[in-house]
Structure 1
Amino acid sequence: MDRQELGAFLRSRRERLRPQDVGLPSGPRRRTPGLRREEAAVLAHISTEYFVRLEQGRASRPSGEVLAGIAGALRLTDAETDHLHVLAGTAPTHTRLHRRDVRPSILALLDRLPQTAAFVISAAFEVLAWNRLAAALMEDFAQLAPEDRNLARRAFLGPQRPDAPLYGISDATEFRHRVVMELHATRARYPADPAVTGLVDELRTASPDFARLWERHDVQAASMLTKTFRHPAVGEITVDCDALTLTDRDQRLVLYSAPTGSPGADALALLDVLGAAVP
C-alpha cells in the first residue's frame, strides 16, 4: 500500500468533481475546489474521519468493499479504479525490476516489417529495440547512451526546448501528458524499482511541466490513432500509430505505418531508401 500516493490520488479525484456532478446542490460559495471530504465520504458510505485519514496517508489498508464505494463516489473510470486498487495494495504488483530484455522473436519481427517504423519501449519509456526505418524517422538510437534513449526524459528534458515539438510530432503536448499518466501507473506497479522511481524523481525535480502534470494524478490517456512528423529530409509524414502490449514483459511494440498509396506511405518508402544517410 502506497499511502502517500493513494492519498494524493484520492484528493485529486475529489477536487475535480463539482457537487452537481454527483447530484448535490452547489450551495454557498466554496473556498476549495471540488467536493468536500464529508460529501465524498457520505457518497462512499464510509466515515468522514476514515476518508480524511486516507487522504492524509494515515489510514490502514481499505477493504475491496470500501474501495468500490470510493470509486463509485468519485466517479472513477475503469483505469482509475484499477490504479486505486494498485495504490491500496489490493491488486497484484510487480515487486521486481521492470524488464528490459526483448524477446528474440520480437527482435526478428522488427526487421521483417515492410515500410513500418517499429520500436519496443519498456514500462519506463526506454527504447529497447528498433528497426532501420524507426531510426530514420526519429533518430539513430544506436548513437545514444542508454539513458538518452528514454522517451520520457527526451520529452521533458530536451535536447530541444520544453515547448518545442518532439521529433517534430504534431501532438507533442498530448504525448507528454500521456507519458505522465503512464508513468503514474508504472510507478504503482514497480514501487521498489530504482530505475522507475529515480526517473520520476528526476523529472519532477528538473521539469516544472512534468511536476505540474504529475500532481494532476491522471491515469487514463486517449488513444493516439495518427501522428504527424515534421521530418528535416522529407517534410511532413502522417502515419497510423499502433501500440501492441507485450504482456509477459510489460513492454510495448510501437508501429508507425501508412495506407498504401498515401503521401505518408510514399514518405516512409523514401526514408526506407535513404536509411542511415538521413540526418
Structure 2
Amino acid sequence: MTNDLGSLLRAWRDRCSPADVGLSGHGRRRAQGLRREELAGLAGVSVDYLVRLEQGRSRRPSQPIVAALARALQLDEAENALLHQAAGLPAPSGRVVPVHIPPGVQRLVTRMTDYPVAVYAADWSLITWNTMWSALYGDPAGSPAADRNVIRATFCAPPSWANIHGPDEEIERALVADLRQAVTTYPEDEELRTLVAEASAASPRFRSLWRSGAAGRHLSSRKTVHHRLVGDLVLDCDVLTVTGSDLRITVYTAAAGSAAAERLEFLRVGAVHTVTP
C-alpha cells in the first residue's frame, strides 16, 4: 500500500525553511528543511506520532492534527486540500469557519517581533500567535482549544493561563456583532452554533447583546491589559481581515514614549528566547 500521506509530509518538511517558521537556521543541519522534532513541536504532536505518520504506521490523523500540520508546514489552499485528502478527510469547505492560515500570513506573524500579533478564526478562536503575544497575554500552548476562544474568555470564564483586559462594553458589543456576522456567513457550522448557545446560557450580557441583532466587523479598539508582571498596559488593538480566508489578525501597539510602550519593550526583551508556537 502506498503511503501518500507520509511522502507528502516528508516532502513538505524538507522544503520548509526554519527561518520562515521562526526557528534559527544557524549551525550545522543535516535536515534540508525542518527536523522532525521541529515540525512536531510546531504542530503540537509528539515526535513518535509524526514518525508513525511519515512511515505509514498511522494513516488517519484527526482533522485538528491535519490542520495543525498544514499550518506548521505553511501549505497553501490547494496543498491543504491535498493533505486532507491523503489523510482520508474531506477538504475544508466554505460552509464552516475556515482555520487555514495562508503562508504569507504565517510569515507575517513570525517576523513581526516587536509587537503582539495573533490570528483568530471568524468565531474568535485563537489559531496562532507570536512570542510577544504570549508575553503579553500568557502562553496558551497545551491548553484545550475551547480555552483559546475570545467569546468564551469574555462572556463565560477567562482561562487560567491568560492575563485579561478589563471589561469594556464597546468591545463586547463589537465582538458579539462580529460573531453574528460569522453565524450568518457559516450557518452550517455546528461548533459555531454551540459557541453561541454556550455563551447565551452563561452570560446575561451576551444574551442581551445577541438579541439586539447587531452585525458587523470588529475593526479596532483600545484595550487595557492587566499584566501580572508589568501592570496595566493601555494598547491600541487593530483587527485586520485576511481577504479570502475570513481570518482576523490582531496587532497591539502603543504610542512611542508612552508608559505602555516602555512596558511592551520590557516584555519584548524577556520574550527574545521564547520559542514561537
Name the TM tier (shorter chain): 0.5 to 0.7
Which residue does 1:174 correspond to in 2?
170
Equivalent of 1:203, from 196, 199, 202?
199
In the alignment, the residues of structure 2 paired with residue 221 and residue 196 of structure 1 have an alpha-carbon distance, to the nearest angstrom, of 17
Equivalent of 2:245, from 232, 243, 249?
249
RMSD of aligned alpha carbons? 2.5
- TM-score, normalized by length of structure 1? 0.59
- TM-score, normalized by length of structure 2? 0.59
In the alignment, the residues of structure 1 paired with residue 269 and residue 196 of structure 2 have an alpha-carbon distance, to the nearest angstrom, of 38
Indicate the SS of the match to 2:212: coil
Matched residue type, 1:144:
S
Equivalent of 1:192, from 182, 188, 211?
188
- CA 1:221–1:126 in 2, change beyond 3 Å: closer, same or farther? closer
Indicate the SS of the match to 1:141: coil
Report whether the alignment pairs 1:143 with 2:139: no
Larger radius of gyration: 1
Q: Is the 8 Å Cα contact of residues 121 and 247 (structure 2) preserved in structure 1?
A: yes
Which residue does 2:75 correspond to in 1?
none
Question: Following TM superposition, by how much is the alpha carbon of 1:223 offset from its aligned partner in structure 2, in angstroms?
Answer: 5.0
Question: Following TM superposition, by how much is the alpha carbon of 1:207 offset from its aligned partner in structure 2, in angstroms?
Answer: 2.1
Gaps of 5+ in 2: 1-92
Q: Deviations over 1:150-176 (max 9, x none)?
A: 11011111137xxxxx94424533222
Task: State percent identity of aligned pairs.
Answer: 30
Q: Which runs of 4+ in 1 moved over 6 A?
A: none
In the alignment, the residues of structure 1 paired with residue 207 and residue 109 of structure 2 have an alpha-carbon distance, to the nearest angstrom, of 34
Q: Is the 8 Å Cα contact of residues 125 and 148 (structure 2) preserved in structure 1?
A: yes
Task: Give the length in aligned residue pairs.
Answer: 180
Q: Deviations over 1:200-246 (max 9, x none)?
A: 12211232221121111122477534222121100121222211110
In the alignment, the residues of structure 1 paired with residue 164 and residue 145 of structure 2 have an alpha-carbon distance, to the nearest angstrom, of 22
Gaps of 5+ in 1: 1-93, 161-165
In the alignment, the residues of structure 1 paired with residue 136 and residue 218 of structure 2 have an alpha-carbon distance, to the nearest angstrom, of 23
Matched residue type, 1:182:
D
Q: Is the 8 Å Cα contact of residues 218 and 239 (structure 2) preserved in structure 1?
A: no
Summarize the alignment of residues 91-240 of structure 1 with structure 2, pairs less than 5 Å apart: 96-159=95-158, 167-220=163-216, 223-240=219-236
In the alignment, the residues of structure 2 paired with residue 244 and residue 229 of structure 1 have an alpha-carbon distance, to the nearest angstrom, of 20
In the alignment, the residues of structure 1 paired with residue 251 and residue 94 of structure 2 have an alpha-carbon distance, to the nearest angstrom, of 29
